[in-house]
Amino acid sequence: MNFILRRLGFYLVAAWASLTLNFFLPRFMPGDPATALFARMQGRIQAEQIQTMREAYGVSDDPLWQQYGAYLVNIFRGDFGVSISYFPTAVFDVVRSGFVWTIVLVGVSLVLSVLIGNILGVMGAWKRNGFVDSVLPPLLMFVGSFPFFFLASVALFFLSFEWGWFPLRHAYTDGLAPAWSWEFIRSVLYHLVLPAATSIVVAIGGWMLGMRNTMISTLAEDYVTMAEAKGLSQRRVMFNYAARNALLPNLTAFGMALGFVISGNLLVEIVFAYPGLGYQLLTAVNNLDYPLMQGLFLMITFAVLAANLVVDLLYVRLDPRVRAG
């Protein structure tokens, strides 16, 4: 319980830090970016949009601490300002619509890459210098060296554009109404294959190598020797004694890697024109939609913090030492 409270405190600090950064960034950047921003956007957007921007960026006479307080209250109420490129839709609503798709994509690719990567890692450590251990690591390391978005471009070009095996863009066939019908789900899955596959292929190597290395350390533990001495089946020693314990450090790595995986997936979304948060990020950058950019930053950060909290809860469940201490 103590452990969870400590972690909860940490996440609150992290959330506060990103909120504060977000607040001060437009206000304290050199050369008064707010003013420069308005100059750059003259003629591109309507006067009332500029007015909302002015308020959001503190071109007001209130003292700073008052603005800061108002800002925190607004965020707490889910008010992230108004998007410029989707004016007058609120940033919160824009981001919410993209969230679903990013969670689908990140969820599927993360679960699969972690699962496959860890199993390969266990196998690699178990049969050192066997096929899995000698061929796969360098291969996956090479594939993992490619930037997410580049591999996605190549896959899109050859598999979708040249050979037409997969759809070119979007999360489901245009004109299909979202529903819990078999047709819709099939269309979603079909559109999901390529984006998910690219990010799985890039990410899998890291999981495999991580698992393999902890597994090698675990295999040297006395309880593994003991299990072998007892004459337990190889399978049982491998999964119930070694892999189970080697999984723990990897679980914490999982929480840490989440931000990285999400970043990669955002870029994959851009390449495949997948209507998630990444695509919105691109829209925001292209249209100088600063409120949307900041809203995306905050909401992705909060999501990562929440996911880490879940990982911590799992950790407590899995590691009795944490519960006791």
Site for another protein in 164-193 (CB under 8 A): none
CB of 192 to another protein, least distance (A): 20
Report in angstroms how near the CB of residue 193 gets to another protein at its nearest. 19
Strand, helix or coil for residue 82: strand
Q: Is 310 a residue that touches another protein (CB under 8 A)?
A: no
Residues 6+ apart with CB under 8 A from 273: 168, 169, 170, 279
Please calculate the CA angle 160-161-163 and round it to the nearest 5 degrees: 70
Q: DSSP letter for 302, please.
A: H
d(CA 245, CA 247): 5
Using CB under 8 A as the binding rule, whether residue 85 contacts another protein is answered as no
Q: Which of 110, 219, 243, 268: binder of another protein (CB under 8 A)?
A: 219
**Among residues 78 and 147, whose Cβ is nearest to another protein?**
147
Separation of alpha carbons 163 and 305, rounded Å: 40
**Interface residues for another protein in 276-295 (CB under 8 A)?**
281-282, 285-286, 288, 290, 293-294
53 belongs to the binding site for another protein (CB under 8 A) = no
Query: 82 pairs with which residues across the strands?
Result: 90
Which residue in the set 98, 124, 195, 206 belongs to the binding site for another protein (CB under 8 A)?
206
Q: Pick between residue 151 and residue 192 the one whose CB is nearest to another protein.
A: 151
Q: Does 33 bind another protein (CB under 8 A)?
A: yes
Binding flag, residue 97, another protein (CB under 8 A): no
- Residue number with CB closer to another protein (3 or 99): 3
Q: Is 266 in the site for another protein (CB under 8 A)?
A: yes
From the list 217, 310, 313, 317, which residue makes contact with another protein (rule: CB under 8 A)? Answer: 217
The angle subtended at Cα 19 by Cα 16 and Cα 20, nearest 5°, is 85
E strands, 2-117, in order: none
Quick check: 130 and 146 in contact, CB under 8 A? no
